[in-house]
């Protein structure tokens, strides 16, 4: 009897994954969350379904901040093929994003000519972690695996299917061959 119940529950979860997720309170995709854009307006991430999305927790006063330039180049190269880069400012690492959303937007635009979507500052690690980042860090992906974000500019790649396809360490440059290959593969 127990084996039958386990099988029935497993089949119900496979046949109706949305129902299983709803009952457990889990999200099935990072694109089921909502963030606020840099101006404070809500953004339903579901609007990016069918696209390839690269989430990057960013900071303005970090040794890795010049990655903004490479991220913008990556966005410009692949946006017409369906890539969206989403910058998510965070101040958990060395207090390297102390500014207001307005200051962050001005910095990114003036210094790096950023045109990809920028969100409002959130917590990406520890107490008060944003639900999106709680989800992203719980998914076991390659090459970085699951667990807390280690520093600014950690990258999470979400495929057209809405699932986390890969995670890359902060020092992975936007033009890194493995990152570019993962993006190109996800865009196919």
Q: Where are the domains of the chain?
A: 27-187
Instruction: Please report the pLDDT score of residue 63 as a whole number.
Output: 96
pLDDT of residue 139: 92
What are 117's strand-pairing partners?
A: none
Residues 107 and 9: beta-carbon distance below 8 Å: no
Which CB contacts under 8 angstroms, 24+ apart, belong to 1-9?
none
Q: CA of 110: how far to CAs of 38, 41, 62, 90, 104, in Å?
A: 15, 22, 17, 19, 10
- Total residues belonging to the chain: 188
State yes or no: pLDDT of 16 exceeds 70. Answer: no
- In the structure, what pLDDT confidence band is assigned to residue 144 with cuts at 50, 70 and 90? confident
Q: List, for residues 151-173, the tens digit of each pLDDT value.
A: 999 999 999 999 999 999 999 99
| 146: CB partners within 8 A, 6+ apart | 137, 138, 139, 140, 167
Contacts of 82 (CB under 8 A, 6+ apart): 50, 51, 52, 160, 187
Q: How far apart are CA 23 and CA 38, in angstroms?
A: 32
Residue 19 has pLDDT above 60, yes or no: no
Rounded Cα distance, 139 and 26, in Å = 12
Give the catalytic positions in this structure: 62
Q: Give tens-digit pLDDT for 70-128.
A: 999 999 999 999 999 999 999 999 999 999 999 999 999 999 999 999 999 999 999 99
CATH number of 27-187: 3.40.30.10
Residue at token pair 């307005």: 102
């Amino acid at each position: 009897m127990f084996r039958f119940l386990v099988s029935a529950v497993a089949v119900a979860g496979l046949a109706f994954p949305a129902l299983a997720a709803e009952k457990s309170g889990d999200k099935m995709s990072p694109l089921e969350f909502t963030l606020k854009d840099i101006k404070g307006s809500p953004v339903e991430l579901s609007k990016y379904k069918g696209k390839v999305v690269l989430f990057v927790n960013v900071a303005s006063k970090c040794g890795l901040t010049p990655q903004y330039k490479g991220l913008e180049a990556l966005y410009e190269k692949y946006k017409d093929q369906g890539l969206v880069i989403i910058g998510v400012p965070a101040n958990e690492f060395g207090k390297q994003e102390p500014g207001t959303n307005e200051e962050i937007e001005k910095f990114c635009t003036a210094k790096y000519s950023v045109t990809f979507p920028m969100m409002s500052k959130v917590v990406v690690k520890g107490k008060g972690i944003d639900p999106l980042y709680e989800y992203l860090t719980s998914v076991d992906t390659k090459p970085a695996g699951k667990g807390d974000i280690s520093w600014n500019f950690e990258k999470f790649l979400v495929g057209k299917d809405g699932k986390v396809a890969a995670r890359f360490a902060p020092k992975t440059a936007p033009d890194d061959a493995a990152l570019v290959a993962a993006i190109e593969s996800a865009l196919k």
